[in-house]
Each structure stands twice: as C-alpha cells, then as structure tokens.
A and B are shown apart, each in its own frame.
Chain A
Amino acid sequence: MSQEELKQDILDVVTNCVKCRFCLAVCPLLDITKGWQGQGASGITLAIYTALKWEVEREYKEALRDLLFSCTTCRNCVVRCQETSVGVDLLDAIDKSRQFFVEEMYGPMPQQKKPLEFLERYGNPYGMLPSERKEWMKGLGVPDYSEATAAEVLLYIGCTATHDPRIADVARALIQLLKAAQVKFGILEDETCCACPTFRLGEQFLAEEIVQENISKFKSRGVKHIVTLSPHCFDTFLNNYPKSEMQGIKVQHYSQLLRDLIKQGRLVLKSKVEKKVTYHDPCYLGRHNDIYEAPREVLGSIPGIKLVEFNRCKADSLCCGGGGGRMWADFEAEEERLANIRVREAISLGAEVIVTACPFCLINMEDGVKSVGVEDSLKVIDIAELILSAIEEQG
C-alpha cells in the first residue's frame, strides 16, 4: 500500500468518529498522564487526523510520535465505541498511523528502535543469539516439533520466556502440565519471534518477512495445532497472519488447552489452594479475542480457591501497560504506571494473589507489587503455575 493510500485509509477511519468522547473515560492513558483529552483514545486519533488533514505532521512530528506510540493498544476504546457509539475502529487507525509514521521515519520511539534492529538481526527483540535462546530449556527433554516425533501440539514459547528467567519458570510449569496430561507436544528448536512487535510498532515490511518464514516452518513440519504461551503471539497468529496461509492450523492460548485437559480429566486437580485470588484479563486474550471464560473455568476447577473479580474486569479490564510495544519504551508524559493502579485495586479487594496468563502482564504486575511495596501481602502468579501447584501432591 502506498503512503498516499495509507494516509487516505487513516483519514477514512477517523472521519467516522463523531467526537462523542465516550471512549475517553475508558482509556487507561488518562489514568496515568495529566489527563488532557488529547492524551488518549479519540484524542490521539483526532491528533493524527488534524495533522494529516492540515499537513502539519512534519512540524509536530515528535509530539505526534509520542502520542501515537504511547497507546497501549488495549482496545478499550474500540469496545466502548462499538457498544455505545458508532463503532469506529480507532485501533485500526492507530496501527495504520504507526505504519505511516515509521515509513516517514518519524517513528517509533527511539528506545523502540533497538528491539526492531534485534528482530531483524537475531529474530527476537531481546538481542539473544540462537544458542542463548535455548539455554532456559536445558534438561527439560522437550523434543523438536516434527511429524516424525509424533507430536500433536506445537508449543510456541515466545521470545519473552527465553529471555526472562521469571517467564521461563512459567514455561517450565506449562511443560510439566503438558507432560502430566500426556500431551504429545514439541517446540521449534529454531523458534523465532511471531512478529508481534513489528506489527505493533508499524514495521510492516519486517513483519511480513517474519510471517513468511514462520509459515514455511509450520508448513514444512506439518503443524496442525499451535498452543502459545503468550496472548500476544496468539493474537498475532490469529489476526495478523494471512488467514489463507493459516488454514487448517488450530491456534490456542494455553489457558484454553488447560481448560480442555481439565474437562477431559487428563489433568486432575486434587490439592487445595486456599487463597483469595483475582484474575487480571490480558488485553490480547480478552478484548482482542473475547477469551474471558477459559481462564476462569480453569481457576474455578481448583479446589479451595476463592476468586474475587476486579471491579474493572473482562471487557472493562484495565491494561497492565505492556501492550502496543510499550515494553520497550518509557513516556515522559506518564506520571504513574498502570500496573501500580492494578496492584492497588487488588489490595483493595483483599486478594492475596493476582493471577494472570500473559508474560507482559506478569512482569509488569510483579514490578507493580514491588513499586507499591506490598511484596509481603500480594503475589503475582501465572495460571499455569497455579494449576501445577494444584496437581502436585501436598507433602
């Protein structure tokens, strides 16, 4: 698509906005900035519209870039607009604007350039060499996925688990669960990024290259069923990969597989977990893909557990702040972190544990717990870890 076509596409989307501002009340950016209406939701898209229409995008490129790349892409504005107004896909305008501004060399944020360079060079946004990427799984005995190994499921680990020791723990817990349930699974020993950061940061050309590489890997190995650890990989496979190329490949988030395994009796939860927990809906599982019930069904099957819901839950859930490429950038305009707000909300519910199902949410929430200073009273656990503790015999 040419720049002119892209520009017209952006204007077409934003022209549909009736400026009712219903989206502002649910935009998380207004919770952490000074709350100017120009700093969130339709304020951002109106800024883009204004800049493109009056052709002042060059004059104010830095201000525009900071606004555009600050969006968490949590999709709360889109849901609010669909339910209460004309149903404009503001996020579509934001995605396209990021592509447009990257092509014009105005974006992304300076700190976000490094992960994109790493992606191009090493196939992951953290700059790990392929050999380093395998470190975390030493001794686990997980086979490389191929039809020859008789694996049924490709477990797609994602980059963050291979880089961050805390998320590697989660991946190990999930692997133990799959083994316990006797799932025939494998991983890609040469796994690279799913391309999520490139899509979110507007690097369309690099994104397309990565997508093609991954699709050939899936095809050459006869992959029929992918289970992802991260909702971001899950969403990318489902919504950014060409549907025609992914035909015949079932894509699941692991919370859906765990739910199925529990229902089938392949995972038996016998140990009580007597904790008051609250579940934090990751944006890319919930609002982006409507998966609210699978993780709750999984939690509901743990004996002894008490689930309390956040006031803002399911489609209203507050973003942790990690989406949209924000794991790689800080924004001057922000005075608070969303995860800190979420942690305070959990404390006010009297929860002992925040359970989540996303690497970024887990990292951000754990930082939030430290930042708020409640390490003694509140833990952050991934749903796989919680299930593992429920299948293990207490001793």
Chain B
Amino acid sequence: MANSDVIVSDLTEIICEENVSGDIFNRATYGQDAFGIDLEKSKIPIAVVRPESAQEVSKVLVYANEHRIPVYVRGSGTAFKGSSRPKREGSIILSMEKFTSFEMHKDDMYMEVGAGIIQLDLEQKLAGYGYLLPLNVGSKFSGTIGGAVAVNTIGHMVDTCIGKTIDYVMGIEAVLPTGEIIEIGTKSIRRPAGIDLTRFLAGSEGIFGVITRIRMRLLPDQKKAYVVGFFKELEDIGRAFIRIYQEKLPPPLYGELLSEEACAAPFRLRKMGKPRGSMALATTMGHTQDDADRQAEEIAKVFRTEKAVEAYVVTDAKEQEALWASRDNIMNILGVEEGEEKLLLGGVLECPVPLHALPDLIRYFRTDHKHSILHEAKLFVYGHVGAADLHAMWGVPASWPPEKRRQTTIEASQVEREVYLKWGSTSGEVGQTALRMAGWREMYGEAAYAMLLNMKRAVDPNGILNPGNLLEDEGK
C-alpha cells in the first residue's frame, strides 16, 4: 500500500483537488459516526474525498482496488451501528455530500435525485409539489436519501400503510466496487417482474456498490388527521395497536409511542406541562378530510377501549406540532432541567417483534432482561408501535466512569440480539451489518452467511468497499 501522503496526492490527480482532504480534523470528523463509542485512533482514515459524479466515484474505486485501499462510503454518518465508520486502518472515506441533484418528472410519477441530498431538503422540495417523502427518519436533518435507500428505512412511518423505501425505488445508478457504472431499474411505474437488480442495491448497506443516483416513485400527499392518547400503562398502547390490526382498520401512516419518562423532557422543552401518562400518537391519511377524520375517530375509540385515560383527535395545529415534535425530536429526552444530573446516551436499540408480542417486549425492556448495568441506568421506551418496532434508550449519569457507560452500550446490543432470537425478528430500521452482523450470522446460520459473503466476493473481489461490515475479510 502506498503511504498516506502519496495516496492523498494521487487522489487530487483523480478528482478535483478541493474535494480531497488529508486534514487531521476533517479525517477525524468524517471517520466518526453516531455509534456511541469513539473510533480508535488507528482507524482514522487517511483521506476524505467528495466526488461529484459517478465517473469520479469510479476512478476512486479503481484506484483503491489497484492499491488495495479500504473505502468507506458515507452519507452523513448518522448510523447507530457503526456501518459508516472505518474498520480497517489506512482507509479512504467517500462522502456522497456533493450528489445533491433533484429532477422532478411528475408526469411520469417519479423523481430522480442525487444520493447525497438531505432528507429534510427533499421533503420540503416535494411538499412544494404536493408530494410526500415516503420516509420520516429521526435523523432527517442531516441524513441523506442515499443512506435511507441503502438501509431501506422509513423511520417513523408505517410499512403496512405505505410500503417501504425499497418499494418506491424504480431505478438506481451505482458504481460497483471494481469501478463499473451501472444503471438499473425502469422508468415505468410498473415494477420489473422477475430479476430486479435495484433490490440488490437498495437495502444492501453499501456492500455491493455505491449508489449515486436514485429514481423514486412519487407519493401524492393526502389529507391527514391526528390522534393522541395518554395511557397509565405503556403496555396498553401495544394492545391498542394490536387491536387496530385485529379490527382490520386501515393502518395509520404514523403510529408512535413514548413512555411517560420519555415524554417528560420534550414536554418541558415545549412548555406542555407534565405528560398525563405514556403517549400514543397516530396520523391517518385519506383522500378527503372526512375520510382521514373518520379513521382518526376510530383509532381514538380503540385507544379508549384499551384503557386510555384520555384520547382525542387533535385539531389545534400548534398542539399537534408540539406533540409530534416531542416524538420526532426524541433526543430531547436527554435534555435536563437545572439541578438534574446530566444524562448521557448509554445504549440504544431497535427491536421489531411479531405484533402479539408488543406488550411482552415492553416488559422485557423494563424488567425481564438480565443485564445488571442496564437496570441501573434510566430507561426510555419509544418508537414505531404501529409498525411493531420499538426502541429502548438507556441514559446514564454523566458521573458514571466511561467504562461503565461503554458497558451499557454493549449490554444494550446484547438485549437487542436476545429479542431478535427470542421473537424471530430483525432490524426494521437501522440495518443488519457492522455491529449487528454477528447476531445476523447467529440467527440465520452459516449457510446464509456464506451466501452473503460469496455474493459480496463476486462483486468486490478485493474486498475494498466497506470492509469489516460483514465481519470477516471480504476479499477472495
């Protein structure tokens, strides 16, 4: 492998000089992602590049193959499980931030966007045309659409209502690990039958190639109505959403819960007083307002049936905005009041389960798991109850020693793995690779793991693209 200075210098020959950085602080910043444990010093990348075209991405990958340099693709680095951080020494970070093109083809019901466009920007652009971005991810303030497609996440939206990100992907331009540029998919709203290679890239977590441009079907925005319910028992919110499905009601666009503890700080921040219990939120969608309102009333009724102390359709726009912001900006829960001890993020996990198990999952988070340090930390439960996918977050006092905090992070990952094995589910939002790969391997077995590794080796013979995310040396 060439030395660092030579690599940085070579890269400036390949792509525009101003888009190559060997600066220590840029490298450290781009090397870190949102996973709670600091990147090891030895894994700081040797360069960050910001290509502006698929051709430039291709050149970087060809160069990396030639010199066997690991390349880590990065949208905005909001991944919680370490997928965008380097696992090998001497790597290049390939940031997609310059891919921000946006083309609207509304007559053909699609848009074409650069992979690096920020989700919030895209959401606002689409709103201007009367379309809805079919995903609402907590990190939308910085997360890119390429990241959401690569992980196939829709965040705070309900799959059973609108489908998942992958269902909107009509076409993809990508660069294979060996540098070839491919364009796959269709321009028709009719999806390809049989082999559809877009499905190998959307949701691939960057294992099979670098997504540079995406063609996505448009989702016309509809009228909406909003329901809130407050419950004495958090488990009752789980039961309420089970009932929504049992009664064959149209699944809401958005169905979220926050435990009473998780509501406290966001409510205080928005001057809403003390929460009247744990909170359930639902957004319904209809072609007419009457339709949306009727669905909302039915959900409010279900909430009351399942022992909500209060449930109603929210009609005041300010109240609606504040309640939904309390959920959407969930990191607020680590905010403090004067006099309280500052809590730091200890561990966070994401666990989908079969619908019937929602109340059991909540009990597992609260009492049934056997991890002693987690039981000492402060637990907040929140998440996508409408999609049967909940989060638990453990906040730890700032006075805890760093090692104990680190242990909280590890124990949270262990609880996540236990839940997947216990209930036969897997990540529905954050992805499967990197930190989660060992659990994936355990769950699906060696034959499935070998299949994945062989597929990877077929397209990335030198194992240069995001190596380490599948655990083993991906090269042949």
Contacts and interface: CB of A to CB of B under 8 A. Distances in A.
B342 interface: yes
Interface string B4-35: 00000000000000100101111011101110
B332 interface: yes
| Contact size range, B | 35 or more
A152 B335 CA distance: 41
Given A25-B118, A86-B335, A36 B21 contact: yes
B23 A38 contact: yes
A60 B331 contact: no
Interface stretch (A14-22, A130-138, A222-230, A270-278): A14-22
B67 to A, nearest CB: 24
- In this complex, the member of B24, B30, B342 whose beta carbon has the largest number of chain A beta carbons within 10 angstroms is B24
A143 interface: no
B76 interface: yes
B188 to A, nearest CB: 35
Interface in A36-55: 36-39, 43, 46-47, 50-51, 53-54
Given A21-B78, A24-B142, A60-B24, A38 B29 contact: yes
B40 to A, nearest CB: 11
Contacts of B335: 82, 86-87
A84 interface: yes
B26 A46 contact: no
Interface string B25-52: 1101110111010100100000010000
Contact of B141 (A37, A82, A84): A84
A63 B23 contact: yes
B55 interface: no
B77 interface: yes
Contacts of B334: 16, 86-87
A21 B84 CA distance: 14
Given A21-B76, A63-B23, A86-B332, A46 B28 contact: yes
Contact of B331 (A47, A67, A85): A85
A38 B26 contact: yes
B2 interface: no
A25 B141 CA distance: 8
| Contact size range, A | 35 or more
B29 A47 contact: yes
B254 to A, nearest CB: 18
A85 B138 CA distance: 10
Nearest to B121: A25
A43 B139 contact: no
B270 to A, nearest CB: 9
A1 to B, nearest CB: 18
A89 to B, nearest CB: 11
B269 interface: yes
Given A20-B34, A63-B25, 20 more contacts: A15-B398, A16-B342, A18-B36, A19-B32, A19-B33, A20-B78, A20-B331, A22-B141, A34-B18, A36-B21, A38-B21, A38-B25, A38-B30, A47-B28, A60-B24, A64-B25, A83-B329, A84-B332, A86-B331, A86-B334
Interface of A: 12, 15-16, 18-22, 24-25, 34-39, 43, 46-47, 50-51, 53-54, 56, 60, 63-64, 67, 80, 82-87
Interface of B: 18, 21, 23-26, 28-30, 32-34, 36, 38, 41, 48, 76-78, 95, 97, 118, 120, 139, 141-142, 269, 329, 331-332, 334-336, 342, 344-345, 398
